[in-house]
Amino acid sequence: MTDLTQLGSVNGYLVKPANPGPSAAVIVIQEWWGLDAQTKSIAERFAKEGYLTFAPDLYHGEAAKLGDGDAAMSLMQKYAPRAPQALASVFDALKKSPDCNGKIGSVGFCFGGHMSLRLSTLRSLDAICTFYGGGMQQVFDELRKHLNAPVLGFFGDEDLSIPAGTIAEFERLLEEVGVEHEVITYPNSGHAFFRANDPSVYKPEAAQDAWEKAKHFFKKHLD
């Protein structure tokens, strides 16, 4: 069952699992293009795995056309300052929902990969997954102070949007904090390798492997 509904301070795409009764929840966080069909399809995939899934519309009804980087950048700059608190309000609403059993994880892509990490500095998530988080180094200091949940990170070795050395620094940070973690960098893969509707970036083998690992990660920490 799918609904466009409001959780906390933001509308979004809510997908309930087929099985009745409360379940763990997964917050699926959009790329910088906005809440699009790709993001909704990922929410549906997680719901099929048995999770109450919510993909918040962090651009509040606006979106950039795929490939229009200038429009996406403008929207991200406009809404990014408000996004962390919007995500925190989603977390709080899920915690209170009778459909949620209290366990909540997050997964994000690009801009959303960054926001998945940032949310973990505001609320106590049970599992954190980030795909090629753009600008994630901006939240490293806060992660050192607040991170207390397992982390799974996915990157491509040809991702020019992530500065050299950032992934290695991220791994060192996770070691320093002492949380359970795994960071995977796929060969011959660039930014957005998981985006199935964009043949210019999609890497099917890497995407399938990442999906299987993400499923296992959430099953381990949310089920």
Which are the contacts of 222, defined by CB distance < 8 A and separation ≥ 6?
Answer: 24, 26, 51, 103, 104, 105, 126, 127
Average pLDDT over residues 87-110: 98
Which pLDDT value is given to residue 3? 55
Domain that includes residue 47, residue range? 2-222
Q: What is the pLDDT of residues 163-179, one digit of tens each?
A: 999 999 999 999 999 99
Percent of the chain residues topping a pLDDT of 70: 99
Average pLDDT over residues 189-202: 96
* 212 confidence band (pLDDT: 50, 70, 90): very high
Answer for the pair 94, 104: CB distance below 8 angstroms, yes or no.
yes
The number of folded domains in the chain is 1
Sign of the Cα pseudo-torsion (48, 156, 116, 198, in order): negative
Q: What is the pLDDT of residues 8-38, one digit of tens each?
A: 999 999 999 998 889 999 999 999 999 999 9
Which are the contacts of 23, defined by CB distance < 8 A and separation ≥ 6?
Answer: 17, 50, 51, 52, 99, 100, 101
Which pLDDT value is given to residue 2? 47
Task: Read off the CATH number of the domain in which 169 is found.
Answer: 3.40.50.1820
* 211 confidence band (pLDDT: 50, 70, 90): very high
Which pLDDT value is given to residue 131? 98
Does the pLDDT value for residue 4 go beyond 90? Answer: no
Q: What SS3 state is found at 213?
A: helix
First to last CA, the chain: 21
